[in-house]
Amino acid sequence: MSGEDFPVTRFALPAFLSVFLIASVAGGQSGWPPGPSHATVTLWPHGAPDPHGPLTATGPEQDTTRPTDRIVGGRPVFRLGNVSNPTLTLYLASKAGNTGAAVVVFPGGGYSILAIDLEGTEVCDWLNSIGVSCLLLKYRVPSSGPWPKSSAALQDAQRALGLARQHAAEWGIDPKRIGVLGFSAGGHLAAAISTHYDQRLYPPIDAADRQSCRPDFAIVIYPGYLAIADRNFEFNPDIPVTSATPPTFLVQAEDDTVHVENVIQYFTELKKAGVPAELHVYTHGGHGYGLRPTDLPITHWPALAATWMKTIGVVR
């Protein structure tokens, strides 16, 4: 989700989203802050490192949503701002249905805010419904990216992947089946961590930083910053795709105001490098719809992503 406004769309409710969306609508709840059933881990026990870039939060963390902000899928979006204390909130799959796979989720928001419900808690509810654990990253904003303008968000992502692998046994997840999923700026962050994992962007502080921070797979939804508009949409060289970049699933609409060339150029680079990738481009959809269903086919992308995760063997 970028800082741009979204088109207003009609609300329809497919069965695969009905359980958790009906509950949240009925209760009028955003899902944030998380309830006591979801443990939250502080990312940096002694404070976040210097991002070597513009300052991030200068005020208290808060919901920055305004009455004039457009709604998505019939409801407002919880726009969390001024994040200076990054955390990882655990939405672990139930023991009965746990597949062992896990996804670290990066909400979007133009590296200015986090759409923490639309592109965070609601995504975790969906992942849990298919037996996948979700680790929701509340990364630093504003002015925390994109890399290399600031390293703050990418530092947080690297640290989150290391923590996930360090605690894999404790959290009931397979350390070899941990992926990332991001929207808009979070989609860029998913691509950035997929291509910047060999070296930490901060001094290691504990055993988590000795773990690999390479995702095993990536789901990138309506990303930004991957194609450079003022250079005829050439691919962003700060995302150095190689044959070791993880398998990737991509979705974007042709009429996205952030430009569909972002996924097209990334898919092309993945193909050149021989990385397994699946691309879905839709005629209509705009930007910033998350998982909230509308009458547009693009909002059924979660079912396609679930099938893809089975296809590549991360969900069994």
* pLDDT tens string 73-107: 999 999 999 999 999 999 999 999 999 999 999 99
**pLDDT for the residue 29:** 53
Q: What pLDDT, on a 0 to 100 scale, did the predictor assign at position 123?
A: 98
Given a cut of 50, the residues of the chain with pLDDT beneath it are 2-28
Task: Give tens-digit pLDDT for 14-46.
Answer: 333 333 343 333 333 568 999 999 999 999 999
- Cβ contacts of residue 313 below 8 Å, gap of 6+? none
Q: Are 119 and 186 in contact (CB under 8 A)?
A: yes
Query: Which pLDDT value is given to residue 70?
Result: 87
**Cβ neighbours around 19 below 10 Å, total:** 12
Reduce the DSSP state of residue 137 to 3 states and report it.
strand
Res 55: pLDDT: 77
Q: Across the chain, which distance is largest between two alpha carbons, in Å?
A: 51
What pLDDT score does 58 carry? 85
Which pLDDT score, from 0 to 100, does residue 10 have?
A: 30
Residues 259, 2: contact at Cβ < 8 Å? Answer: no
- Among candidate residues 181, 164, 171, the one with its CA nearest the CA of residue 127: 181
Whether 157 contacts 106, CB under 8 Å: yes
Full set of structural domains in the chain with CATH:
15-30+37-42+71-311 (3.40.50.1820)
